Amino acid sequence: MKKGVLIVIPILILAAAGIFLAKPKGLKIETYTIKKEAVKDVYKEDGVVSFGDTQSILSKVSGSILSIEVEENQEVKKGDVLITIDSRELVSQKEMLIANKSGLTAKKEESDIQRLMSASPTEYLKNVRQGLETAQIAYETAQTDLSAKQELFNSGAISKAEFDLSRTNLENAKNTFESSKNRYQGAESYLNELKKSGLSEKEINTKFYESIDKQIDANIASNDEQIKQLDLKIADCTITALADGIVSSIPVKGMTGVTAGIEVVRINENSSKLQVKSKVLSDIVPYLNVGDEVVLKFEFRGKEFETTGKISKIYDFANEGKSALGLNEYRVDVVIDIDNVDNSDNKEIGLKDIKNGYSTEVEYKLFSSDSVITVPVSALFEEDNKNYVFKIENSKLVKTEVKIDYTSSTFSVISEGLSEGDEIAAIADNEKLSDGVKVIKK
């Protein structure tokens, strides 16, 4: 009986020892074996077909609208008149300046004649004073006349044209009076300064008339510049199309007047260049470049076809908007030129059927390669602005730095640090993982 007990005990001891020896040592983890493969990652977004840019025509002047010469959806050519602004007030101002210039020219001639006749500055000043008094009387008369015409106009006794003429006469009289007053005061002040300087009468005469000539010349030059600016404004009262196109909207339709800087007409320019405009999330833009090829997919009359295009412009600013879920997002405008070649498989439909404003699906190629190393994004971790994976060597983890060329939502393309056939930890987000830890596959 004792022998049987003694035999059983060693067997139990050996069995326990076997279980202990067979127990594996190391942390169980999921692994990923590196291999090279073809990779293509795309981003899809909606786009709108456009036959050229949209042109906003702005008014450069303020005034009443005399006429709108076009209608929405009307085709126009470059130079066609779109809108006419009332320029009568500007023309009136120009006429006053022309009249003022004539007066200044006459004054200069008068000064030259008086100098030749050796008229003294005192006599010259007396004549200017008489001209000032005449101008003042004319100005006061014009004020009285306008006041009377205002009452007649308000009662309907005279026409607006008669009232406007009276107002124009007042403006002319006022300008003449102010010009005469400035001329007299300036001449009188300068003559007094010359008399105090101790110069001889001959020297005073010479300097006085030289000053008068310079003053008149400066006023004439100022007049000419004002006339030039008015000519530009008068020309701007006729608003024309800057390019061939179709009138898409007339924002001032129904308005009686405009202010400078306001949009009056919007035109979709005609162009043989077929384009697509798309709004791309700002996170995607760093992966796009001008010249990149995109795929454009159209659906027309229940049939589908696709063609290609190239990015021609990426705007350098983003616009804030809302996502379908109501979240804030930022998008950047991208312009795509469509290739002239119609490479659609279904020749029943193609680019010939596409019209301005049609929608399309734009497929942007973010990354493409026939043979690259990729790893799951879960295998990567970052320390000190560097990227790492845990490579497995001799059943131990080795912290290995890698260089990432591209990252999608699920994988990253690795250009340095790993080779085909290497084995790595598939999930790095585990506090038990560290350099040198012994591991085994799950």
Query: Considering the entire predicted model, what is its pTM?
Result: 0.47
pLDDT at residue 103, as a whole number: 75
CB of 344 within 8 A of CB of 307?
yes
Chain segment 114-134, per-residue pLDDT in tens: 554 445 677 777 777 887 898
364: CB partners within 8 A, 6+ apart = 42, 43, 44, 45, 280, 284, 287, 288, 292, 294
Query: What is the distance, to the nearest Å, from the Cα of residue 264 to the centroid of all Cα atoms in its chain?
Result: 18
CB of 414 within 8 A of CB of 403?
yes
272: CB partners within 8 A, 6+ apart = none
Q: Report how far apart, in Å, the C-alpha atoms of 267 and of each of 2, 64, 246, 336 are.
A: 112, 22, 5, 20
Least trusted range by pLDDT, from 70-84, 345-359, 366-380: 345-359
CB of 257 within 8 A of CB of 54?
no
Chain segment 53-93, per-residue pLDDT in tens: 778 899 999 989 999 999 987 889 999 999 999 998 888 88
Query: Distance between CA atoms of 394 and 181, rounded to whole angstroms?
Result: 105
Q: Report how far apart, in Å, the C-alpha atoms of 435 and of each of 29, 322, 375, 388, 439 are.
A: 14, 45, 19, 11, 11
pLDDT exceeds cutoff 70 at 23:
no
Chain segment 208-260, per-residue pLDDT in tens: 666 666 777 778 888 889 889 999 999 999 999 988 888 888 999 989 889 89
